Amino acid sequence: MDLKIEPKKKIKGEVNVPGDKSISHRALILASIAEGDSKITGLLEAEDCLSTMNIMRKLGVEVIKKSKGEYTVKGKGIEGLKEADDVLDCGNSGTSMRLLTGLLSSQNFYSVLTGDHSLRRRPMQRIIGPLTKMGAEIFSRRGGLAPLSIKGQKLSGIKYKLPVASAQLKSSLLLAALQSEEETVIIEPAVSRDHTERMLKNTGVDLEIGSGKIILKKSKKRKLNPFNIKIPGDISSAAFFITAALTAEEGELLLKNVGINYSRSGFLEVVEDMGGDIELLNVREEAGEPTADILVRSSQLKAAEISGDIIPRLIDEIPLIAVLAVSAEGKTVIRDAEELRVKETDRISAVVNEFRKLGISIEEFEDGMAVDGPACISGGKTLESHHDHRIAMSLAVLALKTESAVTINGSEIINTSFPGFAELLKSI
């Protein structure tokens, strides 16, 4: 599907972005293995989370839709899942595949996980390695590629230093470790999103967190209490609208109910650093997650240098930082972001190639990029989504700044994380 974006000088309005994707996956998974009924509101009903939901249903869990975004999950307990009679399809969702491989490795049955052509190219050895050390039996295509076939069994605990700051990897190991009675210790090289830890603690699991370590305490038969959760808006989805407002000639946007968890809010820090006019209003805690309304106004931006430990706290927003950099005065440099090469597509090369089509001066590094701004952007071009939702949406926001309309090919991929994106963009 093609998405045509016309240039726009004025961005104004109020926006409610959909529920957080990472929290939605975890809510579905943890509610499924809790002992009893959990209630979820604000669940993101996008393809990625629906993949997780369908898989939990195939594993015997009743997930009942009450109204838009509102579900009751009839948790079966950690040992209550049953073997699915077919292959489990994760679609485009790396979070589904990595978290569920952990969970299923310790179940007493056989599972096969697959996904679309993008997911079948993404590295799974990073989870297969440590899970195998815990005693898991996982078979993959050569090089640790999906489909993954898992002969579930009792696992031991593990003490493991993550080679990459990856929330999907640590969550996979924590889910696998839940059924082991032994202690598990995970050491993080840098902070990555901590929703799994927060939610496990809220369900009564004995986790100790501090100084870069997560310790799942030794325990006989662990039990997760059911829970009620109201999922905040996704900061990664809000970031597209924040960028649109900041870079507009006339921009003022209020984004309601957005999660601002420290492990996810690196983007807001960069925006401030670049001189962006952004205010957090009504800061509060909801469902164990810091949440706020965000007021953004168009701003004269200046270039920034981004590298090091902040990278995992803004990893999904880097294409948007590149979009901000196009409007900013000076050279913005992004380094230490080699993880972008193994996302839904190689996001460094996708950003560089598509930006160059619009005449933007952008340099490619193995671990990042540098953008010269401010740039006048030619329009009238057709750009590619690279089968990546965040690339498609970042290009759509960039296209608002061009001289004439831009078309984005393959924009249906946006539905994996943000159904209704184009309509919401139009509304402001």
Measured CA to CA, the distance from residue 7 to residue 378 in angstroms comes to 11
Residue 345 lies near ligand S3P (rule: CB under 6 A): no
**Residues between 137 and 196 with contacts to ligand S3P, criterion CB under 6 A:** 166-168, 171, 192-193
User: Do 370 and 351 form a contact (C-beta atoms < 8 A)?
Assistant: no
The least distance separating ligand S3P from the CB of residue 158, rounded to whole angstroms, comes to 18
Measured CA to CA, the distance from residue 256 to residue 300 in angstroms comes to 24
Instruction: Tell me the three state secondary structure of residue 10.
Output: strand
Dmax (CA) of the chain: 64
User: Do 354 and 384 form a contact (C-beta atoms < 8 A)?
Assistant: yes
Q: 101 or 168, CB closer to ligand S3P?
A: 168
* β-pairing verdict for 110-114 and 70-76: unpaired
Measured CA to CA, the distance from residue 345 to residue 391 in angstroms comes to 9
Q: 25 or 401, CB closer to ligand S3P?
A: 25
The least distance separating ligand S3P from the CB of residue 195, rounded to whole angstroms, comes to 7
**Residues between 24 and 83 with contacts to ligand S3P, criterion CB under 6 A:** none
Q: Tell me the number of residues near ligand S3P by CB under 6 A.
A: 11
Measured CA to CA, the distance from residue 31 to residue 51 in angstroms comes to 15
Q: 105 or 166, CB closer to ligand S3P?
A: 166
User: Do 313 and 262 form a contact (C-beta atoms < 8 A)?
Assistant: yes
The least distance separating ligand S3P from the CB of residue 287, rounded to whole angstroms, comes to 16
Options 28, 73, 186, 315; binder of ligand S3P; rule CB under 6 A = 315
The least distance separating ligand S3P from the CB of residue 315, rounded to whole angstroms, comes to 5
Q: 49 or 400, CB closer to ligand S3P?
A: 49
For the chain, state the CA radius of gyration. Answer: 21
Q: 251 or 312, CB closer to ligand S3P?
A: 312
Measured CA to CA, the distance from residue 358 to residue 337 in angstroms comes to 23
* β-pairing verdict for 406-409 and 368-373: unpaired
User: E strands within 34-107?
Assistant: 35-41, 62-67, 70-76, 88-89
**Residues between 200 and 219 with contacts to ligand S3P, criterion CB under 6 A:** none
Q: 17 or 377, CB closer to ligand S3P?
A: 17
User: Do 34 and 224 form a contact (C-beta atoms < 8 A)?
Assistant: yes
Measured CA to CA, the distance from residue 320 to residue 240 in angstroms comes to 7
Options 51, 95, 179, 416; binder of ligand S3P; rule CB under 6 A = 95
Q: 47 or 316, CB closer to ligand S3P?
A: 316
The least distance separating ligand S3P from the CB of residue 128, rounded to whole angstroms, comes to 14
x-or-dash pattern for ligand S3P, window 320-339, by CB under 6 A?
-------------------x
Residues 6+ apart with CB under 8 A from 50: none
CA neighbor of 266 nearest in space, from 300, 327, 312 = 312
Name the closest residue to ligand S3P (Cβ): 22
The least distance separating ligand S3P from the CB of residue 193, rounded to whole angstroms, comes to 6
Residue appearing with tokens 């994106």: 421
List residues bridging with 40 in a β-sheet: 71, 229
The least distance separating ligand S3P from the CB of residue 176, rounded to whole angstroms, comes to 15
The least distance separating ligand S3P from the CB of residue 236, rounded to whole angstroms, comes to 7
Q: Which residues are part of the catalytic machinery?
A: 316
Measured CA to CA, the distance from residue 148 to residue 56 in angstroms comes to 17
Instruction: Tell me the three state secondary structure of residue 253.
Output: strand
x-or-dash pattern for ligand S3P, window 252-291, by CB under 6 A?
----------------------------------------
User: Do 162 and 149 form a contact (C-beta atoms < 8 A)?
Assistant: no
User: Do 426 and 25 form a contact (C-beta atoms < 8 A)?
Assistant: no
Measured CA to CA, the distance from residue 374 to residue 350 in angstroms comes to 20
How does DSSP classify residue 136?
-
Q: 198 or 401, CB closer to ligand S3P?
A: 198
Q: 171 or 402, CB closer to ligand S3P?
A: 171
Options 8, 17, 19, 22; binder of ligand S3P; rule CB under 6 A = 22
The least distance separating ligand S3P from the CB of residue 254, rounded to whole angstroms, comes to 25
Residues that bind ligand S3P (CB under 6 A): 22, 95, 166-168, 171, 192-193, 315-316, 339
